[in-house]
Amino acid sequence: MKVKATASPYLLWMALFIIIPLGLVAYFSVTDRLGNFSLENYRASLAYSPVIFNSIWLAIIATVICLILAYPLAYNFSRKSANHQRTLILLIMLPMWMNFLLRTYAWMTLLENNGLINRFFGLFGLGPFEMINTSGAVVLGMVYNYLPFMILPLYSVMTKIDHSLIEAAQDLGCNSIQVLKNVIIPLSMPGVTTGVTMVFVPAVSTFVISRMLGGGSNMLIGDLIEMQFLGNAYNPNLGSALSMVLMVIILICMALTNMFEGVEEKEGMLL
């Protein structure tokens, strides 16, 4: 039975609720409030370039920290016994099942000026340190929320690396560092690119983490967009233009990570 028609309701649905809405965003971004064609929204977006660059910068820092934290962890996990792996992965996933608002709220409690961490420092006569409402707190919130998104793809790629490949590399003269450099890192690149995308995309577009941990002073592009649609600044045209900018940023990020993966392959082909 080669039935294709069962896909039609879905295709219709996607056209109506994915394609058309995105088309609307594109349309709103190039019109003014009266519906006339205008590039004013993009010009206005330029004024917010510090916020945009701040978003990109903080998201990059968070992604890099996640990668550095997750890589050795995932490798470690992948070399453990099956039972251990199952438990550890469960432990990593468990916090993900709690709503991220609650997880972020937990850090508010800890970082506040009279929060637990400052109280602890207070015992030694230190502080209070200004931790909440800083860009550091925003990055911390991103790392905390999205670290599992980096660990899981890395782990799943690394468990698929056949142990005999590692033995083969040792057999051909690699010590542990050379095994890492010549076999494990190149073979785990697909996991790295997936992990980077899965952390960078939500990090660069968040508006909750910045609002809860960054206070008013650490606006991100997500906050700007939210304000244009639900805030006092109500301006869906500008909001749409900013959304387009956000999508372009993400496309560039993905193109870059894909290119990185592609270069490895191309180098192999050149010889």
Considering only residues 119-148, where is the footprint of other proteins by CB under 8 A? 119, 144, 147-148
231 phi-psi bin (left φ>0, alpha ψ -120 to 50, beta other):
beta
Q: Is 152 in the site for other proteins (CB under 8 A)?
A: no
Q: Which of residues 3-22 bind other proteins (CB under 8 A)?
A: 3-11, 13-14, 16-22
Q: Which of 57/234 has CB closer to other proteins?
A: 234
User: What residues have CB less than 8 Å from 67, skipping those under 6 apart?
Assistant: 150, 192, 195, 196, 199
Which is nearer to other proteins, 97 or 124 (by Cβ)? Answer: 97
Nearest approach, Cβ of 201 to other proteins (angstroms)?
Answer: 6
Binding region for other proteins (CB under 8 A) out of 23-31, 36-44, 49-57, 60-68: 23-31
Q: Which of 69, 142, 75, 74 is CA-nearest to residue 104?
A: 142
Between the CA of residue 69 and those of 55, 93, 154, 219, what are the distances in Å?
21, 16, 11, 26
Instruction: CB nearer to other proteins: give 34 or 90.
Output: 90
- Pick the binder of other proteins from 105, 129, 234, 260 (CB under 8 A): 105
Report in angstroms how near the CB of residue 218 gets to other proteins at its nearest: 16
Number of H helices, E strands in the chain: 15, 0
Contact between 71 and other proteins by CB under 8 A: the answer reads no
* Nearer to other proteins among residue 7 and residue 46 (C-beta): 7
Cα 89 to its chain centre, rounded Å, is 19
Query: Residue 169 interacts with other proteins (CB under 8 A)?
Result: yes
25 counts as binding other proteins under rule CB under 8 A: yes
Instruction: Map the footprint of other proteins across residues 40-59, applying CB under 8 A.
Output: none
Tell the smallest beta-carbon distance from residue 40 to other proteins (Å).
18
